Amino acid sequence: MAFGPTVALDDVALTVERGQVHALLGENGSGKSTLIKILAGYHRPDPGGRVLVAGRALSFGNPVNAASLGCRFVHQDLGLVDTLSVAENLFLTSGFPARWGTIRWARLLRAARDDLARVGLDLDPRQPVAGLSPAVRTGLAVARALRPGAGNVALLVLDEPTATLPDDEVRQLLATVRAAAATGAGVLYVTHHLDEVFDIADVATVLRDGRVVASSAVPDLTRTRLVNQLLGSELDEAHASSQALPPPRANAVLRVHDLAAGQLRSLSLQVRAGELVGIAGLTGSGRESALAAVFGAVHPEGGDVLVDSTPLRPGHPRRAIDAGVAYLPADRKAHGGIMSLPAAANLTLPDLRALWRPPMLRLGAERVEARSWFSRLDVRPAGAVHLPLAALSGGNQQKVLLAKWLRCRPRVLLLDEPTQGVDIGAKAQIHQRIVAAADDGAAVVVSSADVDELVALCHRVVVLRGGHAVADLSGPALSVPAVNRAALAAER
Ligand SMILES: Nc1ncnc2c1ncn2[C@@H]1O[C@H](COP(=O)(O)OP(=O)(O)OP(=O)(O)O)[C@@H](O)[C@H]1O
Ligand SMILES: [Mg+2]
């Protein structure tokens, strides 16, 4: 299957056995989501290929057929409709319970509660999906895929379901996936997290440039072997992620005082120029709303944010941008990028000044600049700045959205889940770029569900619990177990 000059998949063959978890791995842009979209009936492959589900041939380009053969999907972008409620989203793909043309709401809500409970979600099914955190949205998409009313599940496919989930929720999701396999379904599981492969997978297949480069029984694999299959070369993972951080400067650039918004009850924080500060915390700790509140993307219920000595006006992100604040949100589809616009336009959107010669936008200059950012962050396909953002793979979209803010050389850089969905090689590259921005004088705050990432990347990590900062760890006190202890303590 090809998109213009890009061959996304080439002669791929794999078998997912009943009751087994089959991990599918590969660098950003290697073809994983394309394969899944073919199974789901979204893309039609070139003639010649075939797919059998429990012995029956899948008819390509036909989502209804895929569903009726028992295929269920949790897509990379989750496929939820923001303007609908939780319950409506649950029934979107399987049809609403109705009698004489009328939707039976009471029944629907009861069933929705059961579906949510099955994956451990305690959520009001009438709530709109728009306000939910990435972790809860993932849970909802999984609950929908496992709805019993939709018939037997023969094949469950999950495309990077854990990209923004904290550890404890990853464990819960893995347990749900294992349970689905135990009922006899085959599971195809896409991830960039190698630990998960060793945790739940029976078989691991690795794609590179649209081809299968290896398929191995997991008991026969080592981590190093798997990394070599992925990258086609030796990469010392530890070396790639650990680096000396430049020392922060003396002056505080960002001052946050007693900020409250959503689950965040009170956050006070000072970040110096050149300093990298991490925000850790479980889902519900306030971590997910912290940076949006600092930026002013959500209306805070109280508190102040100052950049240098200028107060930002809550609810006015434009003011924050003018004051030199950049914010990369966790949800790239809903808030991050404009999927239908070219990657180049997405890159230059927040600051067009250099490209603006009234009355014209210098599109040639825009492309040149976008190309240079593509090469700095190794966005693939290389130089394809004219492609709409939607045509880039998930990890490559993430790189474009990060580049868009790095390009503004912000005074304050707020990053929510900056490496979600990027492969292990690209993660180290992105970390280097973030450190370079700090070295350039930015005050950087990173919120991440990935504690390893925070500890590797930050001078200091603030841990939230119950909406409050309960620890501020740096120097020798900063370690993964210390952050986890602070995030969990007294919660049970
Ligand atoms: N609609 C499209 N139009 C053009 N090219 C596309 C389209 N969809 C995917 N591609 C290209 O196909 C290739 C494979 O993309 P795919 O999304 O399958 O990668 P992936 O393995 O899922 O990567 P990631 O880990 O980043 O999610 C990429 O080069 C991508 O840019
Ligand atoms: Mg993908």
Distance separating alpha carbons of residues 234 and 229, to the nearest angstrom:
9
Nearest CA to ligand 1 atom 2: 391
Rg (CA), the chain: 23
Q: Where are the domains of the chain?
A: 2-234, 241-488
Nearest CA to ligand 1 atom 29: 29
Using the predicted structure, report yes or no on whether residue 371 has a pLDDT greater than 90. Answer: yes
Distance separating alpha carbons of residues 144 and 68, to the nearest angstrom:
15
CATH superfamily of 2-234: P-loop containing nucleotide triphosphate hydrolases (3.40.50.300)
For residue 491, name the pLDDT band (cuts at 50, 70, 90).
very low
Using the predicted structure, report yes or no on whether residue 492 has a pLDDT greater than 50. Answer: no
The pLDDT tens digits for 382-431 are 888 999 999 999 999 999 999 999 999 999 999 999 999 999 988 988 99
Check if 191 has its Cβ closer than 6 Å to any atom of ligand 1. Answer: no
Check if 392 has its Cβ closer than 6 Å to any atom of ligand 1. Answer: yes
Distance separating alpha carbons of residues 267 and 372, to the nearest angstrom:
38
Mutate to test the pocket of ligand 1, among 393, 401, 402, 422 (most ligand atoms within 8 A of CB): 393
Nearest CA to ligand 1 atom 28: 29
Instruction: Determine the average pLDDT of the residues in 434-443.
Output: 96
Mutate to test the pocket of ligand 1, among 10, 12, 34 (most ligand atoms within 8 A of CB): 34
Backbone angles phi, psi at 180, to 5 degrees: -65, -40
Supply the pLDDT for residue 168. 80
Q: Which among 395, 376, 383, 387 has a CA at the least distance from the CA of 27?
A: 395
Check if 314 has its Cβ closer than 6 Å to any atom of ligand 1. Answer: no
Using the predicted structure, report yes or no on whether residue 155 has a pLDDT greater than 90. Answer: yes
The pLDDT tens digits for 289-347 are 999 999 998 888 999 999 998 999 877 888 899 999 999 998 876 667 889 999 999 99
Instruction: Determine the average pLDDT of the residues in 161-188.
Output: 88
Strand order in the sheet with 460-465: 310-311, 302-307, 252-261, 264-272, 468-474, 460-465, 276-280, 443-447, 412-416, 325-328
Question: Do 2-234 and 241-488 agree at the fold level?
Answer: yes
Tell me the average pLDDT of the chain: 89
Instruction: Determine the average pLDDT of the residues in 196-209.
Output: 96
Distance 270 CA to ligand 2 centre (A): 37
Check if 162 has its Cβ closer than 6 Å to any atom of ligand 1. Answer: no
Both tokens of 413, joined, read 């850089």
Using the predicted structure, report yes or no on whether residue 13 has a pLDDT greater than 50. Answer: yes
User: Which ligand has an atom closest to residue 191 CA?
Assistant: 1
Question: Which 8-state DSSP code applies to residue 409?
Answer: -
Instruction: Name residues with Cβ closer than 5 Å to ligand 2, which is an ion.
Output: 32-33, 76, 393-394
For residue 364, name the pLDDT band (cuts at 50, 70, 90).
confident
For residue 15, name the pLDDT band (cuts at 50, 70, 90).
very high
Check if 425 has its Cβ closer than 6 Å to any atom of ligand 1. Answer: no
Using the predicted structure, report yes or no on whether residue 50 has a pLDDT greater than 50. Answer: yes
User: Which ligand has an atom closest to residue 343 CA?
Assistant: 1
Check if 381 has its Cβ closer than 6 Å to any atom of ligand 1. Answer: yes
Contact assessment for residue 271 and residue 445, using Cβ atoms and an 8 Å cutoff:
yes
Instruction: Determine the average pLDDT of the residues in 345-354.
Output: 79
SS3 449: coil
Using the predicted structure, report yes or no on whether residue 281 has a pLDDT greater than 50. Answer: yes
Using the predicted structure, report yes or no on whether residue 183 has a pLDDT greater than 60. Answer: yes
Give the whole-number percent of the chain exceeding pLDDT 90.
66
CATH superfamily of 241-488: P-loop containing nucleotide triphosphate hydrolases (3.40.50.300)
SS3 398: helix
User: Which ligand has an atom closest to residue 396 CA?
Assistant: 1
| Residue 396 alpha carbon, nearest atom of ligand 1 | 26
Instruction: Determine the average pLDDT of the residues in 71-76.
Output: 92
For residue 241, name the pLDDT band (cuts at 50, 70, 90).
very low
Using the predicted structure, report yes or no on whether residue 76 has a pLDDT greater than 70. Answer: yes
Check if 32 has its Cβ closer than 6 Å to any atom of ligand 1. Answer: yes
Q: Give the residue, 134 or 8, on which the prediction is more confident.
A: 8
Check if 3 has its Cβ closer than 6 Å to any atom of ligand 1. Answer: yes
Check if 33 has its Cβ closer than 6 Å to any atom of ligand 1. Answer: yes
Check if 34 has its Cβ closer than 6 Å to any atom of ligand 1. Answer: yes
User: Which ligand has an atom closest to residue 210 CA?
Assistant: 1
Question: Which 8-state DSSP code applies to residue 344?
Answer: H
Nearest CA to ligand 1 atom 24: 28
Nearest CA to ligand 1 atom 12: 8
Using the predicted structure, report yes or no on whether residue 235 has a pLDDT greater than 60. Answer: no
DSSP 253-304: EEEEEEEEETTEEEEEEEEETT-EEEEE--TTTTHHHHHHHHHTSS--SEEE
Using the predicted structure, report yes or no on whether residue 238 has a pLDDT greater than 50. Answer: no
The pLDDT tens digits for 219-232 are 999 999 999 999 88
User: Which ligand has an atom closest to residue 75 CA?
Assistant: 2
Distance separating alpha carbons of residues 455 and 65, to the nearest angstrom:
46
